[in-house]
Structure formats: C-alpha cells, structure tokens
A and B are shown apart, each in its own frame.
Chain A
C-alpha cells in the first residue's frame, strides 16, 4: 500500500469514525462509510490540509470512493 493510501485511510477512519478494515479502495464515502454531504466536504478539506494541495469543487465532486481520493492525490499532491 502506498504512503498516500495509508494517509488517506487514516484520515477517513478519524473523520468518519469507522473501522479501518471497512476503508477499502472501493468503499463509497456515503453509501458504505455512513458519511453525509457535510462529512464529504470536511473530508476533502482534510485531504487538502494533509497533502498541502487545493482540490477544486469540480474535482471534489468526482471523489466518491476511497480509491478516487487516493488516485487524485497520487496524481496531484506534491
């Protein structure tokens, strides 16, 4: 597992209060991990903070699973 994936999953566990083994690449934040629309906004903010990157709103809308977040950040984070 990449360093980026580890850090993303750690953030998801902390913010959504879910068990680490549920945070798989395919897990959908809303359908599988119990997030609501506000949680997803906060998650994106936490990713921006952790990876020191800006995630524009149109890109944020495409991040719906843990894997989406990892892929985006592997590509865009410094």
Chain B
C-alpha cells in the first residue's frame, strides 16, 4: 500500500480559530469552558459548555464572514461553516489548490459529523408546528445533511475525487482521517481533505445528552473545573463545538511538490464493542482491540508509542476503562508513556473530537511537548502512565496515538509517526 502523510492542518475550537492560536492556548493550560450563552439554560441540568469565541477574527476569535459568504451561511448550520473554515486553513497550510482537471479528480473530501444539523432540525420543527409546511425553507434539508460539510468544501475548492462522510458519533473525526488515508493508500485519491465538524450546543442536544447522564452537572458555577478526566471528582463531559480538518497526501506526491510534511499516518484500527448503546464495554475490550489493530497495522511495538491523546471525556466509567486498556496494550512500557486528555481544555467536540485531537498529537510530535490534562488534582486510580496533570511537559514524541470511542460501541485509533 502507498504511504500517506499529513501536509495541512486546520481547526476551529473553543480556544480559538486557527491551529496555532488553539495550540498556544492549550499549552498555556487555558480552558474554553464557560456558562452557556445564546439560549435559555435555567431549566437545563447542565448549563456550561465550551463555545467558540465569536468576534471580528482578531486574536483567535471566529468571524464566519471570513470563511463563507453571509448569504450562504444563512442556509446552513454552523457545523458546515466550521468545516469550511478548517478545510480552507488546512488547504492553505498544505499549499494545495488543484486547478487542473486531473489534480481535481485526484483530490477528495471525507468530512463527518456526529449529529450534523441538529440545531437547524430543531428550529425547522418549530417552524413546521407553529407556521405550517409552506414556511419550511428549501435550504432546510441541504443545510443540515452531514455530508453537505464535505459537499460545500468540495465545491469551494474544486475537489472532484472521492466525496464521502463518516457518522460514528464521537469517533467520527478519527474514522474520517483513517478512512481517507486508506483511500489514498489504495490509490483512489492522491490528496484527501479529512476530519470532523460539529455544532451541537443548543437546548435540544444539551437536554438529550443530559438525559443520557453523559454531561457534567456538578460544576455549573465553576465551568473551567468541570472537564477533569481521570480525576476522582469527574462527573461527565462538557460539550464543545468546532472542527478539525487535515490534508492527507500520498507520500511521493507530497515530496514531489516539496510540501511540508507533518507526520505519516502509519496505523489505523477500528473495532466494535457489541455491548451497549452508550456505555463502553466493562472490560475495555473494544478499546484494547482497536488500539491493538492500529499497532499491528503500523508494524511497531506498543513500547514505541511516546504519547497518547486519550479519548478521556471525563465520564466516571469511560476514563478508567480506557486507561486500563492502554495499560494492557503497552504492558511494561507504561512508565515511559505520556497520555493526556485535551478535552479537559476544549471539552468534547463529539464528531470533531477525533480530528482535532489527531492534530494535537501531530503538534506534540512537531514541538516535542505534550499537552496537559487540566483539573487532574486527584487521580481516581493509580497508574505508571504520566497523565500530564495541569501543565504541558517537554518530551520527544516520535510516535503518537489518538483514541476515539463513540456511542453505539464504535472505536477508532490513529497512529502517527514523525517523518525524518
């Protein structure tokens, strides 16, 4: 199979618009959590979230007008606007603008989302009930469909190759990158714009996830302390929003045009729990098999993994099960492994989590520094693995793994290696 490398990065997160702005704030141990603004929250069990800082585009604020025409924005849910912003950043970063028909046909898109336009579906439902079917917009459907994120990106950038989307809840972003890498490895495309995007912060989603008992509810008055993976006081995840998109490219293609190469995608593993719709399997078996499959595909020894960006959502059950599965994978090498959850800073971006965290894993490799797990005051279990509490640490990272696990028992692990 052909080798696949990462040549472009883009993101919009609760810590800012842009990769470097977000990363510098992650390394500064900042939190994107706050009291929810924009809708009624007094009757919700969870009243906090990590929302994207809106503004004129300066100092990392997100200005949608910089990424999509206002008349187009009006037709779509924010997850599509976030994808447009992150994809444009990634393609600019990669310096890839396909203009010939051949280059366009060799360039594809694979962008997923966990729940897509749930906010717009909620609003259109109200329109239907209150004002009747003749008031439902012709843009309601195309502006809410999950694959329209990739659709808009392909139209904007002339990507005529494979055009696909992944929907695997909180594993979406990782599956998107892994599946896109395989399309390149197998020769279906030379370049893929891949990742996840999500705009889930509205009354309906918060009510629904709170009903699943998945959200933190004990820190409504102290939002920045709520996302605390591995800590004994953790009580659920904090919802985030945004997008993470990468440009993947066949190695020789990237080399031939002198592209900057961030990392090689060397491993991708998938598994299913076949256990429960929302709870992870009790023995962490699904996570273990997924990481093992990625390690096997990478052809490395587990002891070669220097850093893991954990799924680590800050839920009582999930964090410890993942930790145990990781310990099982790496065995005696646990003492040299660093593993952190950046969800402690930006919350859980659901379908965008995997791709944003893959980018953090790549940046840890680039800069030789691993990001922290905020709020980890008292770990609930003992482990030889360094969970990087509170502040980042200098560490040479040659191989990094990123985990994502989703509702429905769907798991994905990606492994990246530095290209020397």
Interface residues of A (CB under 8 A from B): 15-17, 38, 41-42, 45, 48-49, 54
Contacts and interface: CB of A to CB of B under 8 A. Distances in A.
Contact of A41 (B69, B70, B71, B138): B138
A42 B71 contact: no
Contacts of B142: 38
Contact of B139 (A16, A42, A48, A49): A42
A15 B70 CA distance: 10
Interface in B136-188: 137-139, 142
A77 to B, nearest CB: 16
B70 A17 contact: yes
Contacts, number: 19
Interface size class of B (residues with CB under 8 A): under 10
A45 B70 contact: no
A42 B138 contact: yes
A13 to B, nearest CB: 10
A17 B69 contact: yes
B69 A42 contact: no
Contacts of A54: 134
B71 A16 contact: yes
Nearest to A55: B134
A45 B134 contact: yes
Nearest to A16: B71
B257 interface: no
Nearest to A18: B71
Contacts of B69: 17
Given A42-B137, A45-B138, 13 more contacts: A15-B71, A17-B69, A17-B70, A17-B71, A38-B138, A38-B139, A38-B142, A41-B138, A42-B138, A42-B139, A45-B135, A48-B134, A49-B135
Taking chain B's interface residues, is the majority helix, strand, or loop, or is none over half, making it mixed?
loop
Taking chain A's interface residues, is the majority helix, strand, or loop, or is none over half, making it mixed?
helix
Nearest to B70: A17
Nearest to A48: B134
A42 B71 CA distance: 12
Nearest to A54: B134
Contacts of A49: 135
A73 B138 CA distance: 21
A76 to B, nearest CB: 16
Contacts of B134: 45, 48, 54
B45 to A, nearest CB: 37
Contacts of A15: 71
Nearest to B73: A17
A65 to B, nearest CB: 19
A16 B134 CA distance: 20
A18 to B, nearest CB: 9
Interface string B55-84: 000000000000001110000000000000
A38 B71 CA distance: 13
Contacts of B139: 38, 42
Contacts of B138: 38, 41-42, 45
6 contacts: A17-B70, A17-B71, A38-B138, A42-B137, A42-B139, A49-B135
A26 to B, nearest CB: 22
Nearest to B136: A45
Contacts of B71: 15-17
A48 B137 CA distance: 13
* 10 nearest A-B residue pairs (beta carbon): A17-B71, A41-B138, A38-B138, A42-B138, A42-B137, A38-B139, A17-B69, A17-B70, A16-B71, A42-B139
